[in-house]
Amino acid sequence: MSILQQIKSPEDIKKLPLEELNPLADEIRELIIERVSLNGGHLASNLGAVELTLALHRVFDSPQDRIVWDVGHQCYAHKLITGRKDEFHTIRKPGGISGFPKRTESPHDAFGTGHSSTSISAALGMMEAMRKTGNTGEVVAVIGDGAMTAGLAFEGLNHAGHLKKKLIVVLNDNDMSISPNVGALSGYLNRIMTGALYNKFKKETKQLLEGIPGVGESMLRVAQRAEDTFKGFFAPGMLFEELGFEYMGPVDGHRLEALIETFERVKKFDWPTLVHVITKKGRGYEPAERNPSLFHGIGPFDIETGLVAGKKEAPSYSRVFGNALTELARADERIVAITAAMAEGTGLDEFARALPRRFYDVGIAEPHAVTFAAGLAAGGLKPVVAIYSSFLQRGYDQIIHDVCLQQLPVVFVLDRAGIVGEDGPTHHGVFDLSYLRHIPNLTIMAPRHENELQHMLKTAVELNGPAAIRFPRGKAMGVPMDEEMHALPLGKAEILMEGNEVAIFAIGNSANHALKAGERLAAEGLRPTVVDARFVKPLDLNTLRSVAERTPRILTVEENAVQGGFGSAVLESLAWMGLSGLTVRNLGIPDGFVPAGYQSELLADIGLDAEGIARAARDLAVQVR
Ligand SMILES: Cc1ncc(C[n+]2csc(CCOP(=O)(O)OP(=O)(O)O)c2C)c(N)n1
């Protein structure tokens, strides 16, 4: 029987002889590698956090003690030892366990996550709540050096340092975000590391010098004088100490004894503590150690070779965007690109290589990315900010207050808009049309395919005002690309099919499904109109009016929440036009969080694929006939 087989709960970790913990870590790694190679998932971060997880569960008593994982993409070992080993094969699958901590899944998942940098604030809140409700226990926030680049993390630290009450923050430092970490803080953490190495060197040198009879002593005096000159320079963790935390570390995050000893110590402290743990991303799987960015979040792959399964016939939307922006920027030197720690994910890695001086990775700092872009625009540049739809939720006030109110020409590129798949509800980008549409001065577009995307990008950078383009995760449609990019007529929809029995107004990727649905209906003898709206704002009111007058049965389709989205815009406009005798149905994401699952299956479940759209259009036509 393997050691892991004996672990039913964290209690069993405490009972194991110390020498069995390392073999257990090996077993856990093997299982994680095997499962992620089949299901896909966050491999490198999980492999780096195995010993850390075991040490935390050895010392702390979850669920009474609360372990709050930041982002949560490193929680697989935690799930394996907190009673979810038998369901582990279902991770990220429809109906399976989540790839992130989820409060409804287990009492050991203290706080739900997916977006980064929430752990310190949440942990501090839990600590206060424990005290106020008379409960006892420890609270530990585990945050990566990437997640620590966000303002939110510092807001938490700032408040915790002020409250001066017990809180344990574990900084899991692997020098990587998804890509190598960026920023002054990252440099600072590196200096702590260098300082630690220096201190070790110093101790060893001192011992060596002391051992040399005669000359050793005078050499030691000279060395100590030099040391005084640099005093404080290497004092590790000064920054955190100044913020009111006791700094402990750096600790080797793969040495279980060291981790356990450190946690045992800080558990006794009664004030805010930061434990700086050094880990290696991808630890124990050579391809992931060599290329942690690729293995950060990965689809199924071959364990032997490390090669990702499946081939892509068409480029991804992200890649098309990255290429198109690089081309536009070569012709217009005012164009600059900004990412919030997602250079590869957003396709901006290409831009970064081609035009490094015009590329900014600001770290996991979406609100800053938006306001920084506003500043760049106020200074005469044309910033393009590429952020996933769900992460841009963080920049809402900045979009309104810093960009749109001042009519600044910032282009927002919202990747992963719509259903994203296995990452689930934290990552589905289904709210952006609702959180953007009501903002004055903002032009909002969504392409039906990659050729339209490149023209929309050209439209946006030439607009001289704020603009947003949203497109889905994954591969594009594989349509031929025009040689030259051109600006599209503003607010002009495209009629894809003309009929007079039912009209389908769709936006973005949904227009592809709508067109297929229209073809199906036509084959059945119905005469549908299908419109690709292209622009959510300004909406093409002329087309809407003329179609509505001819075909008073209208179905709207979007991969966004029905509330406040594209369909709402159509409804509001029709109401404002005062046309009578209309029947309108809105297809979109109903009022609820969409679970994890496969992109295409989820779309079908919600009724947003061609089949579902055809069904809804047919019902609408028949009802009114
Ligand atoms: C608000 C937000 N922006 C971006 C992301 C995408 N993202 C997921 S993990 C990650 C890097 C995290 O780095 P770190 O905290 O150091 O953890 P590691 O993976 O290195 O263990 C990023 C940028 C996110 N989850 N949330």
Asked if residue 202 has pLDDT above 70, the reply is: no
Asked if residue 227 has pLDDT above 60, the reply is: no
Asked if residue 232 has pLDDT above 50, the reply is: no
Residues 214-218: what's their mean pLDDT?
68
Ligand 1 atom closest to 74 (CA) = 21
pLDDT band at 204 (very low <50, low <70, confident <90, very high): low
Residues 260-286: what's their mean pLDDT?
97
CA of 182 to the centre of ligand 1 (A): 12
Residues 23-36: what's their mean pLDDT?
98
Asked if residue 624 has pLDDT above 60, the reply is: no
Q: What is the pLDDT of residue 237?
A: 85
Asked if residue 221 has pLDDT above 80, the reply is: no
Q: Residue-wise over 13-41: b if at least 16 C-beta within 10 A, else e?
A: beebeeeebbebbebbbebbbebbbebbb
Residues 602-606: what's their mean pLDDT?
97
How far is the C-alpha of 43 from the C-alpha of 53, rounded, in Å? 15
Neighbours of 144 (CB within 10 A): 30
**Class level of CATH domain 494-624:** alpha beta
Asked if residue 199 has pLDDT above 90, the reply is: no
Q: Which of 51, 138, 350, 366 is catalytic?
A: 366
Q: What is the pLDDT of residue 236?
A: 76
CA of 71 to the centre of ligand 1 (A): 6
Q: Which of 281, 437, 448, 458 is catalytic?
A: 281
In the chain, the amino acid numbered 346 is: T
Q: What is the pLDDT of residue 186?
A: 87
58 is catalytic: no
Contacts of 305 (CB under 8 A, 6+ apart): 287
Q: What is the pLDDT of residue 201?
A: 61
Ligand 1 atom closest to 427 (CA) = 25
CA of 117 to the centre of ligand 1 (A): 8
Q: Is the CB of 45 under 6 A from ligand 1?
A: yes
Which residue's CA lies nearest to atom 21 of ligand 1? 45
Ligand 1 atom closest to 71 (CA) = 25
In order of 282, 320, 391, 415, 545, the CA distances from 343 in angstroms are: 19, 14, 14, 12, 42
pLDDT tens-place string over residues 312-325: 678 999 999 999 99
Ligand 1 atom closest to 73 (CA) = 9
How far is the C-alpha of 244 from the C-alpha of 154, rounded, in Å? 12
Determine contact, residues 367/374, Cβ cutoff 8 Å.
no
Which residue's CA lies nearest to atom 17 of ligand 1? 144
How far is the C-alpha of 272 from the C-alpha of 245, rounded, in Å? 5
Asked if residue 233 has pLDDT above 60, the reply is: no
pLDDT band at 490 (very low <50, low <70, confident <90, very high): very high
Asked if residue 231 has pLDDT above 70, the reply is: no
pLDDT tens-place string over residues 503-515: 999 999 999 999 9
Report which listed range, 203-217, 220-234, 256-270, is most confident.
Answer: 256-270
pLDDT band at 200 (very low <50, low <70, confident <90, very high): low
Which has the closest alpha carbon to 428: 606, 609, 596, 607?
596
CA of 130 to the centre of ligand 1 (A): 28
pLDDT band at 83 (very low <50, low <70, confident <90, very high): very high
Q: Residue-wise over 589-605: b if at least 16 C-beta within 10 A, else e?
A: beeeebebbebeebbeb
Q: Which of 102, 394, 520, 534 is catalytic?
A: 394
pLDDT band at 309 (very low <50, low <70, confident <90, very high): confident
Asked if residue 230 has pLDDT above 50, the reply is: no
Q: For residue 139, what are the β-bridge partners?
A: 66
Ligand 1 atom closest to 144 (CA) = 15
Q: What is the pLDDT of residue 459?
A: 98
Ligand 1 atom closest to 364 (CA) = 3
How far is the C-alpha of 36 from the C-alpha of 595, rounded, in Å? 19
Per the prediction, the chain carries an average pLDDT of 94
How far is the C-alpha of 81 from the C-alpha of 13, rounded, in Å? 8
- Strand locations in 3-98 (E): 66-69
pLDDT band at 480 (very low <50, low <70, confident <90, very high): very high
Q: What is the pLDDT of residue 206?
A: 67
Using DSSP's 3-state secondary structure scheme, residue 53 falls into: helix
Q: What is the pLDDT of residue 222?
A: 63
Q: For residue 469, what are the β-bridge partners?
A: 413, 445
Q: Is the CB of 174 under 6 A from ligand 1?
A: yes
Q: Is the CB of 343 under 6 A from ligand 1?
A: no
Q: Is the CB of 537 under 6 A from ligand 1?
A: no
| DSSP string across 528-544 | EEEEE--EEES--HHHH
CATH number of 4-290: 3.40.50.970
Contacts of 194 (CB under 8 A, 6+ apart): 234
394 is catalytic: yes
Q: Is the CB of 113 under 6 A from ligand 1?
A: no
* In the chain, % of residues over pLDDT 70: 94
206 is catalytic: no
CA of 140 to the centre of ligand 1 (A): 19
Q: What is the pLDDT of residue 225?
A: 62
Q: For residue 528, what are the β-bridge partners?
A: 502
pLDDT band at 192 (very low <50, low <70, confident <90, very high): confident
Q: Is the CB of 341 under 6 A from ligand 1?
A: yes
Asked if residue 594 has pLDDT above 70, the reply is: yes
Q: Is the CB of 69 under 6 A from ligand 1?
A: no
Residues 482-498: what's their mean pLDDT?
98
Ligand 1 atom closest to 174 (CA) = 20
CA of 80 to the centre of ligand 1 (A): 22
Q: What is the pLDDT of residue 507?
A: 98
Q: Is the CB of 281 under 6 A from ligand 1?
A: yes
The CATH topology of domain 317-470 is Rossmann fold (3.40.50)
| pTM metric for this prediction | 0.94
CA of 427 to the centre of ligand 1 (A): 12
CA of 72 to the centre of ligand 1 (A): 9
Residue ranges, comma separated, of all CATH 3.40.50.970 domains in the chain are 4-290, 317-470
The total number of residues written for the chain in this structure: 625
Q: Residue-wise over 197-231: b if at least 16 C-beta within 10 A, else e?
A: eeeeeeeeeeeebeeeeeeeeeebeeeeeeeeeee
Which residue's CA lies nearest to atom 25 of ligand 1? 115
